[in-house]
Amino acid sequence: MGYKVNKGEVGMKILIPSFLKFVKVNNEDGTYEIKPFYMLNEEELKKYKNKEDESIVFYKDKITNFRVGNVFDVSQTDMPLDKIEDELNPVLDDPSADGIADIFIKAIYKDDFKVKYEDIKNGAKGYCDFDNNTIVLKNGLSNLMRLKVIIHEYAHSLAHKHLKDNNKEYKEHRNQYEIEAESIAYVVSKYLGLDTSQYSLSYLYSWSKNKDFKEIEDSFSTIVNYSKKIISNYDKMYEENLGFYADYYKQMSI
């Protein structure tokens, strides 16, 4: 990223694992053998690189030993920490966000999810607990950030129900699911006339920067369909709470 370790800084010694790659060689008689990747001959390497040939496939990486290496704390570099902190955690504020958040929370309860607040310590601003049908929000968020997180986690609760009993699937495709949830939150916020781009765009970049367009394109239908669903749920709950005056207050807020 172009940043450098400050002159004169002393690195912290750590143990760095060294891995050895093993492959599975399938024999014609149905048996197989496990061998180190470096022992493959030229013909076997061609088979391994051919994705349509399953006679030789990756098996696992195994730690063989450790070596001593150096790492540096971010404070030992010339990275502009204050600027980065502001970009990662901007103070999003909007006077109308509290009332909108209340409507969303009612819609969430109608979809059989609860909302609660916690002192989340791992840096996350919220998460969706599928085991307990609960959306958990971090205490102390600004009102617009709180609303953005509510919509983001609401999107997870609707679009990603299939992950409830499949945490492995979430871990393997986490980028995709986070892109979908944040894109939905961004679309819904824009519909409501709220600007969360200061946070959403950097969030989306962080999850999509190593993805090609085809992978992101696969999520478009999910983003569109669940953005529509959440907007519809919000509008219905808005009208249910304000009844005859719903259209009037919408025009006033615009």
Same domain for 97 and 148, yes or no, is yes
Same domain for 92 and 33, yes or no, is no
Q: Is 173 contained in some domain? A: yes
Q: Is 64 contained in some domain? A: yes
Count of residues for the chain? 254
205/118: higher pLDDT? 118
Does 127 have pLDDT greater than 70?
yes
What is the pLDDT confidence band of residue 93, given thresholds at 50, 70 and 90?
A: low
Q: Is 1 contained in some domain? A: no
Same domain for 153 and 189, yes or no, is yes
Same domain for 87 and 49, yes or no, is no
| Helix or strand run (H / E) with residue 25 | strand 12-26
3-14 residue pLDDT tens: 899 999 999 999
Q: Is 235 contained in some domain? A: yes
Same domain for 57 and 163, yes or no, is no
Same domain for 194 and 172, yes or no, is yes
Lowest mean pLDDT among 41-50, 145-154, 241-250: 241-250
> End of a domain among 51, 71, 91?
71
What angle, 0 to 180 degrees and rounded to 10, lies between the N-to-C axes of helices 220-242 and 97-110?
Answer: 100
Q: Is 6 contained in some domain? A: no
Domain with 35, as residue range(s), is 12-71
Same domain for 52 and 99, yes or no, is no
Same domain for 182 and 99, yes or no, is yes
| pLDDT (0 to 100) of residue 248 | 41
Same domain for 219 and 93, yes or no, is yes
Within 10 angstroms of residue 150's Cβ, the number of other Cβ atoms is 24
Q: Is 4 contained in some domain? A: no
> End of a domain among 29, 44, 71?
71
For the chain, the domain total comes to: 2
Q: Is 77 contained in some domain? A: no
CA neighbor of 135 nearest in space, from 111, 166, 103, 169: 111
Burial (CB count within 10 angstroms: exposed 0-12, middle 13-18, buried 19+), residue 173 = middle
What is the pLDDT confidence band of residue 134, given thresholds at 50, 70 and 90?
A: very high
Does 252 have pLDDT greater than 50?
no
**Distance from the first to the final alpha carbon of the chain:** 41
Separation of alpha carbons 58 and 62, rounded Å:
12
38/85: higher pLDDT? 38
Does 1 have pLDDT greater than 90?
no
Within 10 angstroms of residue 73's Cβ, the number of other Cβ atoms is 10
Q: Write down the mean pLDDT value for the chain.
A: 82
Does 117 have pLDDT greater than 90?
yes
Cα dihedral across residues 145, 153, 238, 220: positive or negative? positive
Q: Which whole number is the average pLDDT over 196-210?
A: 57
* DSSP string computed for 135-151: EEEETT--HHHHHHHHH
Q: Is 78 contained in some domain? A: no
Same domain for 114 and 214, yes or no, is yes
Same domain for 57 and 156, yes or no, is no
Q: What is the dihedral of CA 186, 191, 195, 196, to 10 degrees?
A: -20
Same domain for 122 and 150, yes or no, is yes
Burial (CB count within 10 angstroms: exposed 0-12, middle 13-18, buried 19+), residue 120 = middle
181/173: higher pLDDT? 181
> End of a domain among 71, 96, 112?
71
Does 195 have pLDDT greater than 60?
yes
Does 247 have pLDDT greater than 80?
no
CA neighbor of 129 nearest in space, from 140, 117, 144, 142: 117
| pLDDT (0 to 100) of residue 204 | 57
Does 242 have pLDDT greater than 70?
no
